[in-house]
A and B are shown apart, each in its own frame.
Chain A
Amino acid sequence: MRTKVILALGAIGLPLLLRNLYVIMFLVPDDLEQGPVYRIFYYHLPAFLVAMCGYITAMAASVLYLVKRDQKYDTIAVAATETALAFAAVNLITGMIWGRISWGIWWAWDARLTWALISWLVYFGYLMLRNAIDDPTERAKNTAVYSIFASASVAVTWKAIEWWRTQHPGPVLSIRTGGVQRIDPAMENMLYINTLALLLLGAIFLLVRLRQEEVQREIDGLRRYAHALN
């Protein structure tokens, strides 16, 4: 059943991604000040949004695991965190490349960049912790607790860093500026469509990773069974 969902998402998502790439490279108008390099933005922002969805899913799954102690929530948490990290990496590195041209520097210690880097490190710690604990129940429990701490810290860090620095461009999507049109509607629509495409891709990654986690548990169970048969 899940395989069918993965294939269906792939059937919609991959052509959409390819079509988007074509549109982004050729059909969307150039930015007046920045030139063609701004097109990186069509991946930079959607990747961030998908990563945020992943972080929030991971936090919800961790809380649910601690409440219900059902292994499937732990599986969702790790799959969501890994997927979120992949997209957050895309966000960080595309941001650096874009910044190199727009601002002239590879990195700046401004609010959002710093926050993005810290969040990445915090959630990477989650994966490190997972690798370090062998017993599945201990691992699920301890990493769920860590994930809650991580989410709380990341939320507070956002406010802290925002007070510390701000150099990053302000919000441009009309949903954030309260209806005021800051960028070309064609560009804005393209952003939303690419967000959708990347979300579909993210969902595929999540479901595949989920299935792999379950296969891993099956393997562990069979291994114990095989040893018992001796």
Chain B
Amino acid sequence: MDERNITFMFYGLAVAWGLLALYAVLLGLRERNLTKQLDTLKRMIEEKK
């Protein structure tokens, strides 16, 4: 019983950190996507000028 208790504690703490880390990763991916789009657009505008 006690072992299950501690196991679930680890699950709980892991979920808390895991979800927040997941959101941070999603933000990072979006950041990378946005930077890429921005660079492409800026290059395109430079070429056209």
A residues engaging B (CB < 8 A)?
21, 24-25, 34-37, 39-40, 43-44, 47, 86-87, 89-90, 93-94, 97-98, 100-101, 201, 205, 208-209, 212, 215-216, 218-219, 222-223, 225-226, 229-230
Contact = CB atoms under 8 A, between A and B. Distances in A.
B31 A89 contact: no
A109 to B, nearest CB: 21
A40 B20 contact: no
A90 B19 contact: yes
A47 B37 CA distance: 33
A215 B38 contact: yes
B23 to A, nearest CB: 4
Contacts, number: 88
Contacts of B19: 86, 89-90, 93
Contact of B16 (A43, A205, A229): A43
A90 B30 contact: no
A218 B15 CA distance: 35
Given A212-B27, A215-B34, A39 B9 contact: yes
Nearest to B27: A208
Q: Is the interface of B mostly helix, strand, loop or mixed?
A: helix
Nearest to B4: A101
Contact of A208 (B4, B12, B17, B31): B31
A24 B6 CA distance: 13
Given A101-B4, A222-B38, A40 B9 contact: yes
A18 B37 CA distance: 35
Given A37-B6, A40-B9, A101-B4, A47 B16 contact: yes
A219 B27 CA distance: 17
Given A205-B27, A225-B45, A226-B45, A216 B9 contact: no
